[in-house]
Structure 1
Amino acid sequence: MPLHVDLPLVLDRDAPVPLTVQLGDQLRAGMRAGMLRSGERLPSSRALARLLGVSRTVVTDAFQQLYAEGWLEGRHGSGTYVADLSGIAGPAGGASHAPPAGGAGPAGGASHGPPEGAPSGNGPATRAPATTAGAAAGWTRGDTVFAAAGAQDVPDAGVVDLRPGRPWVRDYDRAAWRRAWRGAADRPPCDVIDPYGHPRLRELLAGHLRRARGVPVGPENVMVTRGTGHGLDLLAAALLRPGDRAGVEEPGYGKARSIIAARGGRIAPCPVDEQGVLTEGLPDDLRILYTTPAHQYPLGGRLPIPRRERLLAWARRTGATVVEDDYDAEFRYDVAPLPALYGLDPGRVVLLGTLSKSLAPDVGIGWLVATPALLGELARVRVELADRTSGPVQEAVAVLLERGDLDRHLRRARLSYGRRRAAIVEILGGRVSGDSAGLHVFLRLPAGQVGRLVAAAAERGVLLDTTERHHHGLVRHHGVVIGYGSASLAEVREGCAVIAALLSGR
């Protein structure tokens, strides 16, 4: 039945905050506090607009933002409802730690393995050691286990893999997936390659960025790429001359260093702390600076607004281009989104995004957002390099966006990942940081303890990553990076129980 809104919704027309943002914040707070509960139906946008004395656009824009964040869900022909918030919202605004029921994976399709919340059948004591389970899960190189092709589709390969970098792809909406590829098959082969990407997909991606990230862009600002690494490579090819210095966070994404070095750039490690890149002391001679402000990789910090402003002031003063990797910014928990750097200064920032984390790595679609002038330069580079993004894949992604399937997938994924994140916080408590966003957290440890913990966890069948390999030079941040993208809720609980036991000396 329709919900009678008794919330104290008060919109101040004289406030500097837009009415849409005010309404979204108040509805979000009501859901966090339990005044709006899972499954309850909201009034129509027209009725709520009439009640508040505002235009319907104010309400629909607020609803769209809450849809994108996973707070609301639509039911065809029925209306707008509060989504399943178990593990996301609680009376105090924190994550609920009650074990959620098992169900479909983040893509919302039928589950073809055990439900995500179901026991895996192997407790920590019965797990095969990672060194021996590697033969079943994939192949080994040194002391690292690499998943073989198809291994990630096996619900239980004898190892709990809590290393970062992969999303949940075991379950998906088969109907939406097939519909997208049928749409791609209807597109005839094309003999002309647009270096900017398909115009229809660029328009849809611009809309997605406006909804999901609040970035005011049009299709003229969007180039379709094959992912963030590809976008960075295009920028390096266009902007770097041999010997130019390029800043990369330290510790930071190793592939970014490799890409820049391959284009002749000299790496300048730029220190970070728990909040992100340190703006004081940045060199004045950097041509580009690669940064991950929404969820620093691998420490997990969110760059605060004052530091963002100082970073952009540095870029304007030095003429450097800031490359903002927004690799998992769609996933936020219990926090409001911070504005993208690009939205604060489109002239000095290039925004990179990808579907690798939000959908699946093998889709091979990303985007690069920049000024039309810079996109023109990048388009010329692509033509010279005979570089392209698959046309049929672009068409399939366009169908997912056009029908709302990607937005629905993100809402379900956000709730599913939120349950796993809540489980980590419940078991490991205040030991972890970087849990407000993304698909990994950071567990800081004394330097001498890291190797022992990782080795002991591997003996109990739990794979972990460390910060060591993410440094370019001297290791300054010691600890373990715990990913929860590709592990089920039961596996996350199991793996974190092993970590907690080891930290307690058990």
Structure 2
Amino acid sequence: MSDPWDDVPITLDRSANTPLSVQIADGVRSAAAIGRLRAGDRLMSSRTLATRLGVSRTVVTAAYDQLHAEGWLTSRRGSGTFLTSAPAATVEQPSEADEVTLADLLDLGPGAPCVEVIDRAAWRRAWWSAGHRSPVVRKDRAGDPEYRAAVAEHLLRHRGLSAGSNTVVLATAGSSAAVGELAAVGLRPGDRVAVEDPGYQRAVGALRAAGARVLPIPVDGDGLRVDLLPPDIKAVYCTPAHQFPLGSRMPAQRRTELIEFARRHGALVIEDDYDGELRYDSEPLPLLATLAPDVVVHLGTTSKILSPVLGAGWLVAPPDIAKSVLSHRESTGTGPAPAGQQVVVELAHNGDLARHLRRLRRAMPDRRALVVGELRLHGLEVVGDDAGSHVVVPLPSTADEQRVTAAAHRRGVHLDGLARHHSGPQQHFGIALGYAALPREELAVAVRIAVECLTAR
């Protein structure tokens, strides 16, 4: 079991006017509000937390005293201090006007597909054709054979990966589901797995749900810091083609270093190629799975290039790992649903998938240029490769993230701060701004609002 405090990033802004004790108390309240700390969780001792945050013990004691006074904490003699449920007096019931969901906002969050470019006639035709297939009596745990063949062809054409020669292609329900399956068959409870920090938190959640101990590893402009990997880890999860969420591309030398590390220490590398098809500035570097199919499991998904409604992804793994995944599916009765796979098959057979990818690659650079142009016109820095479907706008602190996202929310725009993408203490600050979800006209409006919120003082 991991310590709940491993998932509580309390970041202190020593340049702010707010006292450090108040910032610590705010961090605990925020962690409780979003579920990272739960009722009954034991808090760190004031001495331990002070050491972790680099402050005096008096500062942490003052924060705990304030939380005690508000009813957030309770002490048990000889056991320590524990989080209670949120005090009733501090829980405000939202008014009808405040109850705004993401569906009500202009969505500038990362990770969404550009459904505007989908040919609706081709989309309907694929579903119609899939619906006229004979119903499945027993689903193939490995995935629809035609789907797996279509994936192999897709990977060869669009990602340069020759899958199926000394590896096995399996259908999945998506990247997070695949990570969970790999953890279930390859890890024991307590095994340490390195993840990018900041990184994809659903993969982190899948690893933790399987009992793995997640080890956040910092990233820089070249992606995961391989030099910081400890030798005893069992696996590494990373997004080398387009680091999520910061958007960097892992260069060839670091890819080689990661592979050499994995072979030297017997670690598995999980390569999540979540939007690898969306590179339009240059030729992509060879996938890790192409360089080292013996130690790499490659993951992909249709969620970013088509729609998450399909629930269809894939993994390419060495035969022994694929066999273990299939055994796990058979023993647990799990496995990806065939329906979405069959739709992808129909799109691929008719050439509609290839045509869609060409439209997508034409549309995304134009959208990125619109967003980046507006941001830079107002003097805002932009981070991230010319690829994928989002960029990052750096900010000085968590407080700035909260200020900007709250201001945008009030004006009907959803922005995503980097705070929630960290597994450890927050190291990178800013807004991950996606440009795929909205129709182009709405995108232009939403970006102008975002810029006004980002530049307001």
> TM class by shorter-chain length?
0.7 to 0.9
What SS is found at the alignment partner of 2:228? coil
The equivalent residue for 1:355 is 302
The equivalent residue for 2:416 is 465
Deviation of the 1:418 alpha carbon: 1.7
What do the CA deviations read for 1:54-104 (whole angstroms, capped 9, x no partner)?
xxxxxxxxxxxxxxxxxxxxxxxxxxxxxxxxxxxxxxxxxxxxxxxxxxx
How do 1:19-168 and structure 2 match up within 5 A?
140=100, 145-147=101-103, 159-168=105-114
How do 1:276-315 and structure 2 match up within 5 A?
276-315=223-262
Selected match of 1:431 from 381, 395, 417: 381
- 2:384 is matched by which residue type in structure 1? G
- 1:146 is matched by which residue type in structure 2? L
**Normalising by structure 2, what TM-score?**
0.74
| Structure 2 unaligned residues grouped into runs of 5+ | 1-93
For the 8 Å contact 1:187–1:392, the answer to whether it is kept is no
Selected match of 1:404 from 346, 351, 369: 351
How do 1:298-377 and structure 2 match up within 5 A?
298-377=245-324
Deviation of the 1:133 alpha carbon: 10
How do 1:221-260 and structure 2 match up within 5 A?
221-260=168-207
Deviation of the 1:272 alpha carbon: 0.6
Tell me, in whole angstroms, the C-alpha distance in 2 between the residues paired with 1:259 and 1:146.
Answer: 23
For the 8 Å contact 1:229–1:256, the answer to whether it is kept is yes
Deviates further, 273-282 or 427-436: 427-436
For the 8 Å contact 1:419–1:489, the answer to whether it is kept is no
1:444 paired with 2:394, answer: yes
Deviation of the 1:168 alpha carbon: 2.5
Task: Quickly say closer, same or farther: Cα 1:163–1:392, change in 2 above 3 A.
Answer: closer
What SS is found at the alignment partner of 2:270? strand
The equivalent residue for 1:217 is 163
What do the CA deviations read for 1:41-63 (whole angstroms, capped 9, x no partner)?
xxxxxxxxxxxxxxxxxxxxxxx
What do the CA deviations read for 1:14-55 (whole angstroms, capped 9, x no partner)?
xxxxxxxxxxxxxxxxxxxxxxxxxxxxxxxxxxxxxxxxxx
- Count of aligned positions: 359
Tell me, in whole angstroms, the C-alpha distance in 2 between the residues paired with 1:477 and 1:400.
Answer: 40
Identity %: 44
- 1:199 is matched by which residue type in structure 2? P
Task: Quickly say closer, same or farther: Cα 1:134–1:251, change in 2 above 3 A.
Answer: farther
For the 8 Å contact 1:421–1:435, the answer to whether it is kept is no
Task: Quickly say closer, same or farther: Cα 1:132–1:276, change in 2 above 3 A.
Answer: farther
Tell me, in whole angstroms, the C-alpha distance in 1 between the residues paired with 2:313 and 2:156.
Answer: 16
Deviation of the 1:171 alpha carbon: 5.9
Deviation of the 1:441 alpha carbon: 0.6
Deviation of the 1:374 alpha carbon: 1.6
For the 8 Å contact 1:181–1:396, the answer to whether it is kept is yes
Deviation of the 1:453 alpha carbon: 2.1
Deviation of the 1:310 alpha carbon: 0.6
Deviation of the 1:457 alpha carbon: 2.4
- 1:444 is matched by which residue type in structure 2? P
What do the CA deviations read for 1:205-263 (whole angstroms, capped 9, x no partner)?
10100011011112862001111111111101110111111111111111111111111
1:205 paired with 2:151, answer: yes
For the 8 Å contact 1:248–1:268, the answer to whether it is kept is yes
Task: Quickly say closer, same or farther: Cα 1:391–1:461, change in 2 above 3 A.
Answer: closer
What do the CA deviations read for 1:391-437 (whole angstroms, capped 9, x no partner)?
33322211111211111111111222221101112111261111411
For the 8 Å contact 1:427–1:500, the answer to whether it is kept is yes
Task: Quickly say closer, same or farther: Cα 1:183–1:467, change in 2 above 3 A.
Answer: same
What SS is found at the alignment partner of 1:206? helix
Tell me, in whole angstroms, the C-alpha distance in 2 between the residues paired with 1:230 and 1:456.
Answer: 34
Deviates further, 162-171 or 421-430: 162-171
Tell me, in whole angstroms, the C-alpha distance in 1 between the residues paired with 2:319 and 2:436.
Answer: 35
Which has a greater percent of helix?
Answer: 2
The equivalent residue for 1:19 is none
The equivalent residue for 2:438 is 487
Tell me, in whole angstroms, the C-alpha distance in 2 between the residues paired with 1:182 and 1:495.
Answer: 35
Tell me, in whole angstroms, the C-alpha distance in 2 between the residues paired with 1:134 and 1:311.
Answer: 50
Tell me, in whole angstroms, the C-alpha distance in 2 between the residues paired with 1:433 and 1:330.
Answer: 20
What SS is found at the alignment partner of 1:433? coil
What do the CA deviations read for 1:335-360 (whole angstroms, capped 9, x no partner)?
22111111110011000000011000
The equivalent residue for 1:415 is 362
Selected match of 1:475 from 412, 418, 426: 426
Deviation of the 1:492 alpha carbon: 2.6
Task: Quickly say closer, same or farther: Cα 1:318–1:458, change in 2 above 3 A.
Answer: same
Tell me, in whole angstroms, the C-alpha distance in 2 between the residues paired with 1:401 and 1:427.
Answer: 36
Task: Quickly say closer, same or farther: Cα 1:501–1:317, change in 2 above 3 A.
Answer: same
The equivalent residue for 1:104 is none
- 1:234 is matched by which residue type in structure 2? E
Deviation of the 1:134 alpha carbon: 7.8
Task: Quickly say closer, same or farther: Cα 1:394–1:499, change in 2 above 3 A.
Answer: closer
Task: Quickly say closer, same or farther: Cα 1:425–1:239, change in 2 above 3 A.
Answer: same
Deviates further, 178-187 or 197-206: 178-187
